[in-house]
Chain A
Amino acid sequence: MTGEELIDRIQKNVGVPWQSQRPDGFPDGIHIGKPESAVSGIVTTYAATVAVMRRAVVSGWNTIICRETPFYSRGERAPIAYRNASAPPKELTDKDPVCSFKQEFISQNNLLIIRFVDNWDARNTNGQLRGLVRALGWDHLSQNRNTDYASSAAAFQVRVASLANLARNIAEKLKIRAARVIGNPQSSVGAVAVTHGLVLVSDVERILREFRPDVVVAGDAVEWEAVPYFQDLVTAGRAKGLVLVGNEASEEPGMSEMATWLKTFITEVPVEWISAGEPFWTLRSA
């Protein structure tokens, strides 16, 4: 199977019309590498970090399917409402020692780096959400209002004493050190909505309308957009808390779901999920 054939097979199985071009940024498909290269093994991961690439190479696997691409940018040609930086200029990445190391490592090991985000998220069952909910251990909760994970958010009724308790449970389940919380730690909470990745104000508005939750759990948020929006929700008495688990922690379980899904139609090479791991520690976790 070549890289090109792998993409073909994903497109045939994804179950939704394939969108090959985003309005801005990197499209899904082969991001780096030759389409005719033979696929020796597939790794799914949040980000193609140096550590993940090394582990793949040690195992003899040359194909990495990632959510975040190797050079620290989503490739936006222009910042979208200042949320995302434009990709760093080539003259900067060319002379950067970290980028040079990675570029060389990728070509020496003949790696295929594949981006698979928008079409994966567009599937009828949102794998990123289902993975996160399973990692939280909430998939069995009877109050799940979105059991088929048809959108990017779902809501649950949880039994915890307080927001502080809920946040601690989430950090333990996801094995993370750097969760950040908005709201009164002593607030009693019951209805919790979960979503993955970067949450925008429009996402929060939609989640509030649909689920009326006390708490929203998400990956991260822009600190002049959804963060103060949520602070204001709490002040206004319209919600009780926001738990940001980190972008990696919110997306990584979904990449495990992706590996499971790929194995249903790829049998000739190994398919494994390798977690990139939480990048941060905090003074509290030190």
Chain B
Amino acid sequence: MEMTKDTMTRRRFCQLASSGIVLAPIFALASQQPGAGRLTARQVVRRIRQHVGVPWRTPTADDFKSGDPDAPITGITTAFMSTFELLQRSVSAGNNFVITHEPTFWSATDIISELKDDPLYQQKLKYIEDNKLVVWRFHDHWHARRPDGIFAGWNRVMGWDQYTVAGATPFSHEYLIPETRLEDLAKEMQTKLNVHSLRLVGDPDLKVSRLGNAGHYIAQCMNLLPRVDAIMVFECREWEAAEYVRDAIAVGQKKALIQMPHEGGEEMGMDECARWLQTFVTEVPVKFIPSGDPFWLPA
């Protein structure tokens, strides 16, 4: 297996390095890419920190979650969610370094203390180790970048940079779009964003020209809804946005809600991330792999 050869190479390098003998050409065997085999995940992260354009924060979720940061990498996968399936697809693509926007171990900060005895955790961890994967999370600083890397990607896919209303704040984006029926707008979003589990509140025939991206929380919804025809949210608890918007409609306001899967709101930002990485990581391939909408709707 390719990965095993890498490990052997790395172990041997350590032995040789410690004995004062370094044979750099060994690394050339690790990959066909010139220069690959020398570059490590930690070096890539160092470059990211140099290029991201915002001071590095502490504490941050942006850290190594699994694997050896100092092992040579074969290629980079950027992804929204490092699901088990996504990791398998990264291995198939020959990329052993996964840069994920969202957690790997199912909590906001990848807390593993309570998962030690969980058989799924053990299985996923074993897969990561067996395949010499390195997983690093890139969330806080990709959002902190100006413009926000996630929404830069979203705007690009929607073609909506031109419709952005100036003065929007992070997670409170406003758009002035050509007037569109709510149902048609939702269809356009599903197609462009490659998701299929949008849920809606409001009249399908409502004409929408002012749209607000209210992110995740009720306070963001209350900030935006009075100014716009419709808000969209993703990964928002169901007792927040949906109840608020249906009450707004009940009191006579012409409003609507588009509730997306989390991927619909943010996944395209990791495609943007791959394009950005390619401008300063040239030694190994960099590829965005979609983890995709987790859901389907019953017929």
Contact = CB atoms under 8 A, between A and B. Distances in A.
Interface of A: 47, 49-51, 54, 68, 72-74, 81-86, 88-89, 92-93, 96-99, 101-102, 164, 167-168, 170-171, 178-182, 185, 198, 201-202, 205, 219-220, 222-229, 231-233, 235-236, 238, 244, 246-248, 279-284, 286
Given A225-B106, A283-B190, A97 B235 contact: no
Contact of A92 (B85, B219, B239): B219
Contacts of B42: none
B137 to A, nearest CB: 11
Given A50-B250, A181-B295, A283-B198, 4 more contacts: A178-B199, A180-B197, A228-B102, A231-B84
B218 interface: yes
A93 B200 CA distance: 23
Contacts, number: 177
A52 to B, nearest CB: 10
A247 B296 contact: no
30 contacts: A49-B243, A49-B246, A50-B251, A72-B218, A72-B243, A81-B107, A85-B218, A85-B237, A92-B219, A96-B226, A97-B226, A97-B251, A97-B253, A98-B253, A164-B299, A167-B298, A181-B298, A220-B238, A222-B235, A223-B261, A224-B108, A228-B83, A228-B294, A232-B124, A244-B295, A279-B246, A280-B199, A280-B201, A281-B201, A282-B197
Contacts of A98: 225, 244, 247-248, 251, 253
Interface string B174-192: 0000000001001100100
A231 B87 CA distance: 12
B297 A233 contact: no
Given A68-B243, A85-B216, A225-B106, A164 B199 contact: no
Nearest to A85: B217
Contacts of B102: 224, 228
Interface of B: 81, 83-85, 88, 102-103, 106-108, 114, 118-120, 123-124, 183, 186-187, 190, 197-201, 204, 216-219, 221-223, 225-226, 234-235, 237-248, 250-251, 253, 259, 261-262, 294-299
Contacts of B226: 96-97
B114 A202 contact: yes
A73 B221 CA distance: 12
B259 A280 contact: yes
A82 B108 contact: yes
B83 A198 contact: no
Given A81-B108, A82-B108, A229-B120, A88 B222 contact: yes
A233 B120 contact: yes
A224 B243 CA distance: 22
B218 A205 contact: no
Nearest first, the 6 A-B pairs at minimum CB distance are: A85-B217, A167-B298, A50-B250, A180-B295, A280-B199, A235-B84
Contacts of B295: 180-182, 244
B222 to A, nearest CB: 5
B298 A171 contact: yes
Contacts of B216: 85
With most chain A CB atoms within 10 A of its CB, the pick from B200, B246, B296, B298 is B298
Nearest to B218: A72
With most chain B CB atoms within 10 A of its CB, the pick from A68, A182, A279 is A279
Contacts of A236: 84, 120, 123-124
B81 A235 contact: no
A4 to B, nearest CB: 27
B83 A247 contact: no
A68 B239 CA distance: 7
A228 B223 contact: no
A185 B237 contact: no
A201 B106 contact: yes
B222 A47 contact: no
Contacts of A170: 298
Nearest to A222: B235
Contacts of B299: 164, 168, 284
A98 B200 CA distance: 19
A225 B88 CA distance: 20
Nearest to A235: B84
Contact of A73 (B119, B201, B240): B240
Contacts of B296: 180-182, 185
A47 B243 contact: yes
Given A98-B248, A168-B299, A224-B108, A92 B223 contact: yes
A115 B201 CA distance: 25
A51 B250 contact: yes
A179 B262 CA distance: 16
Nearest to B245: A279
Contacts of A93: 222
A50 B252 CA distance: 11
B238 A248 contact: yes
Contacts of B222: 88, 92-93, 96, 99
Contacts of A229: 106, 120
A50 B298 contact: no
A226 B106 contact: yes
A175 B143 CA distance: 39
A182 B294 contact: yes
Contacts of B198: 282-283
B239 to A, nearest CB: 4
